[in-house]
C-alpha cells in the first residue's frame, strides 16, 4: 500500500525553489556590498565566520552521531528483534538535522523546515519501515554524513586564510616577539628577532633570501597594510563561502520540490 504524500506540507516547508526568493536573496542575513569597507563594518563577514567555524565542531559531532546510529540501525535490522531500534535511530538523525536547520537562522531570515512522513507509534514492522522510506530522512543523512568532508574542507580552507590575513593586520603589535633561528634557517647559532615572510636560508641578510623579513616597525606597518587590503578583499570570498554552504544545507534539509500534475 502506497503511503499518501503531503504536497501542501512539503511546499510550505521550503521556499528554495521560489525564483523571486532565490534570485533576489531578500531573505539573506549576510548581504554582499560593493564597498569593501561597508562589507567589513557590516555583520556579513562576522556572521559568515561564525557559521563556518561552528560547523567544524557541530557538523563533525552531528555527522559522527548520525553515521553511528545509522550503522547501528542497519546492523540491528539484520534481525527481526533489532527492527524496533530503527525508530530511535531515525529520531536521532532527525534531531541532528534539526540542529543544522536552526543554525541556518544565522544566514536566512525564513526558517528552514522539513515535512517528514507521519507514522504511527505502534512499533509494527510496516510503521518502522515507513520511517526509513521517507526521502526527507535520507536527504538529512546525506547532508550530515556524505557532504561533511567537502563542506568541512571548504570551511577550513576559507577560514584558515581569513584568520591568517586578520592576524597579519596586527603585525605592528607583535612583530618583535618571535625569536630564534628556526624561521629563517641557519644563521651561525645567533638568535634572530622578527617574522619571516618568505625564504631566508642564511638569515635576513644572507644570500638566497627571498621575501620580506619584518624586524622593524616600518616593515611591520607595510606588511599590515598589505594584509589589510587582502583581508578586505577576502571578505567577499568568506561571505560567498558561507552563502554557498548555507544554500547547500537549505537545499538538502528541506523537502524536494513537488511536481504539480499537468492539467493538460
User: pLDDT tens digits for 86-132?
Assistant: 888 888 999 999 999 999 999 988 888 887 776 655 556 667 777 78
How do strand 179-180 and strand 192-193 relate by DSSP bridges? antiparallel
Closest-CA residue to 115 (of 96, 102, 134): 134
pLDDT at residue 122, rounded to an integer = 54
pLDDT at residue 19, rounded to an integer = 33
Higher pLDDT, 81 or 248: 248
User: How far is 180 from 189, CA to CA, in rounded Å?
Assistant: 9
User: How far is 264 from 110, CA to CA, in rounded Å?
Assistant: 34
Banded pLDDT at 3 (limits 50, 70, 90): very low
pLDDT at residue 262, rounded to an integer = 46
**pLDDT for 169 beyond 90:** yes
Assigned C-alpha cell, 264: 493538460
pTM for the full predicted model? 0.79
User: How far is 144 from 125, CA to CA, in rounded Å?
Assistant: 26
Higher pLDDT, 164 or 114: 164
Query: Is residue 151 within 8 Å of 245, Cβ to Cβ?
Result: yes
* 148: CB partners within 8 A, 6+ apart: 59, 60, 63
| Average pLDDT over every residue of 188-209 | 73
pLDDT at residue 13, rounded to an integer = 44
Banded pLDDT at 158 (limits 50, 70, 90): very high
pLDDT at residue 5, rounded to an integer = 46
Higher pLDDT, 87 or 185: 87
Higher pLDDT, 173 or 83: 173
Assigned C-alpha cell, 31: 548581504
State percent of the chain over pLDDT 70.
Answer: 75
Query: Is residue 213 within 8 Å of 184, Cβ to Cβ?
Result: yes
pLDDT at residue 22, rounded to an integer = 38
- Tell how far CA 197 is from the center of its chain: 29
Helical H segments across the chain, by residue range: 7-13, 19-24, 36-41, 44-76, 86-103, 125-132, 135-141, 148-169, 171-174, 217-252
**pLDDT for 263 beyond 80:** no
| Average pLDDT over every residue of 209-221 | 87
Higher pLDDT, 180 or 93: 93
Amino acid at each position: 500500500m502506497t503511503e499518501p504524500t503531503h504536497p501542501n506540507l512539503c511546499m510550505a516547508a521550503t521556499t528554495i525553489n521560489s525564483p523571486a526568493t532565490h534570485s533576489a536573496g531578500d531573505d539573506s542575513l549576510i548581504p554582499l556590498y560593493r564597498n569593501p569597507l561597508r562589507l567589513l563594518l557590516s555583520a556579513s563577514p562576522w556572521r559568515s565566520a561564525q557559521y563556518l567555524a561552528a560547523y567544524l565542531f557541530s557538523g563533525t559531532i552531528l555527522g559522527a552521531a548520525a553515521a553511528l546510529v545509522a550503522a547501528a540501525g542497519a546492523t540491528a535490522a539484520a534481525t527481526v528483534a533489532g527492527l524496533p531500534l530503527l525508530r530511535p535511530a531515525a529520531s536521532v538523525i532527525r534531531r541532528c538535522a534539526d540542529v543544522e536547520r536552526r543554525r541556518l537562522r544565522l544566514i536566512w531570515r525564513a526558517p528552514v523546515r522539513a515535512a517528514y512522513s507521519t507514522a504511527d507509534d505502534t512499533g509494527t514492522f510496516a510503521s518502522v519501515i515507513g520511517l526509513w522510506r521517507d526521502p526527507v530522512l535520507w536527504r538529512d543523512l546525506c547532508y550530515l554524513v556524505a557532504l561533511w568532508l567537502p563542506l568541512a574542507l571548504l570551511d577550513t580552507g576559507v577560514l584558515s586564510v581569513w584568520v591568517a590575513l586578520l592576524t597579519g593586520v596586527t603585525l605592528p603589535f607583535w612583530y618583535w616577539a618571535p625569536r630564534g633561528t628556526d624561521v629563517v634557517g641557519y644563521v651561525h647559532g645567533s638568535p634572530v628577532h622578527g617574522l619571516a615572510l618568505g625564504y631566508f636560508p642564511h638569515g635576513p641578510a644572507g644570500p638566497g633570501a627571498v621575501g620580506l623579513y619584518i624586524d622593524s616597525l616600518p616593515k611591520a606597518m607595510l606588511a599590515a597594510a598589505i594584509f589589510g587590503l587582502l583581508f578586505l578583499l577576502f571578505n567577499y570570498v568568506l561571505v560567498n563561502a558561507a552563502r554557498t554552504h548555507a544554500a547547500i544545507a537549505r537545499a538538502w534539509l528541506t523537502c524536494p520540490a513537488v511536481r504539480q500534475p499537468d492539467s493538460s
